[in-house]
Amino acid sequence: MDFSQIDHLDSYSRKLLLSWLSKALMNKDRKTRLESGEPYRVFLKDDAMCTIHCEDGDIQMPSFCIEFEGLNA
C-alpha cells in the first residue's frame, strides 16, 4: 500500500492506516503484525512528501509504503 497513491480517506480509514504506520515505526526493523496476526513492514518509497485529503483536513507526510508479507508494495 503506497500512501502517495491515496487521494482521499474517511476518518476511520485515516486513523487505522496511521495506527498501522506508527506501530511499525516504533520498531527498529519497521516490522510488526496486525491484530489478526498478519505480518507487515513499513518503508519509505523515496524522499518525497505526499498529501492525503481526509474528511477532517489534509495530511502532508513522507511517502511511506506498507508491505504485507507475501505481497508486493
| Element spanning 18, H or E | helix 11-25
The per-residue pLDDT for range 41-58, each reduced to its tens digit, is: 999 988 899 999 999 899
The predicted pLDDT at position 73 comes to: 43
- β-strands 8-9, 31-33 pairing: unpaired
The predicted pLDDT at position 71 comes to: 54
CB 64 within 8 A of CB 44: yes
Using a cut of 0.75, tell me whether the model's pTM lies above it: yes
CA distances from 28 to 3, 20, 33 (A): 21, 15, 14
| DSSP code at position 2 | B
